[in-house]
Amino acid sequence: MNLDCQHVREVMDSYLSEELSVETNHDVLRHVAGCRDCAAELKRRGRLRALLSETLEVAGDADRVRARITQAVDREQRSWARGARLGAVAATLIAAVAVAYWAGKPVDAAAYDDSAGDHIACALTYPEGTAYDPARAAENLVPPFERMADAVGLSHGNYHVIDAHMCPYKGRNYAHLVIRGDGQTVSLFAERAERGALPDTPTMVLAGDALDVHATTRLGYLVSAVATRDHRIFLVSESPTDPPDLAQDILRSAVGFIRSLEK
């Protein structure tokens, strides 16, 4: 096959990136050997890349940054370790603290940010094509959430649960369903209400139910949250689901499941 100049220009950058098949690579080389214009353009594009690398060089001290990261992870690990050591004692204290919490109505100020943060850190990292594995979910969910995926429903319209697991994040321990559909990823989180009330946001009433849904945007994601007696449920999505009431269906199923745990 003889490539003309137009075709060579179209694949020239892929040639520089070494992304062409051996055959097309040879075609480009053959063409460039006999075409001064394309040879000159190839040289200019190579020079452009070299200049890009050169001009975008930003000096950074990798050793210093590695030390900084290590310290930050140490701090986080220490806070978790402290939490684990104190776990047994805390278990007895939590009830008392919770009573005090509820009496004073503390607010869980980071509730929305943390759900959006974990959505980014966890749900968005699932590779394309991930499929739900009931055995993996059964292994990764712990009581009382072990039935959550089935109870909420594995499919809602075009949206399907692709994973379910316990998801530790900033000292929380979410039960996390990762749901995919229509090109977007949605997270459903449930956690025990141990940090206080949901912060005030505009609320809407879930159709057919008496629960308020807090709706807000955090870190660029839509967060819909519902507080039940002992739990908090968060639905995090990039954009409104289609159809719009699909998010409500998922939330409603989740609320039904969580309420069944609280009976």
Partner 1 sequence: MFGIPHQRREEFDRAALAHVPELLRVASRLCGSADAGEDLLQETYLQAWRSFHRFEAGTNCRAWLYKILLFTYAAQNRKRARQPFLVDLDAAGETALLVDSPTPDTLTAEAVKTAFDRLAEPFRTLVLLVDVEGLSYREAAEALAVPIGTVMSRLSRGRGLLRLDLARHAPESSTGARSRMDLPAQRRARS
The reply to whether 160 sits near partner 1 by the rule CB under 8 A is no
Task: Say if CB 249 and CB 156 are below 8 A apart.
Answer: yes
Site string for partner 1, 103-142 (x = CB under 8 A): --------------xx-xxx-xx-xx-------------x
The residue behind tokens 């997270």 is 187
Smallest distance, partner 1 to C-beta of residue 163, A: 9
Task: Say if CB 231 and CB 247 are below 8 A apart.
Answer: no
The reply to whether 76 sits near partner 1 by the rule CB under 8 A is yes
The full DSSP string for 58-93 is: ----HHHHHHHHHHHHHHHHHHHHHHHHTHHHHHHH
CB burial of 168-200 (b: ≥16 within 10 Å; e: otherwise) equals: ebeebebbbbbbbbeeebbbbbbbbbbbbebee
Nearer to partner 1, 52 or 93 (CB): 52
Q: How many residues in the chain?
A: 263
According to CB under 8 A, which one of 29, 69, 99, 138 is a site residue for partner 1?
69
According to CB under 8 A, which one of 91, 96, 98, 169 is a site residue for partner 1?
169
Interacting residues with partner 1 (CB under 8 A): 4-6, 9-10, 13-14, 16-17, 19, 37, 40-41, 44-45, 47-49, 51-60, 62, 65-66, 68-70, 72-73, 76-77, 80-81, 83-84, 87, 117-118, 120-122, 124-125, 127-128, 142, 165-171, 173, 219-220
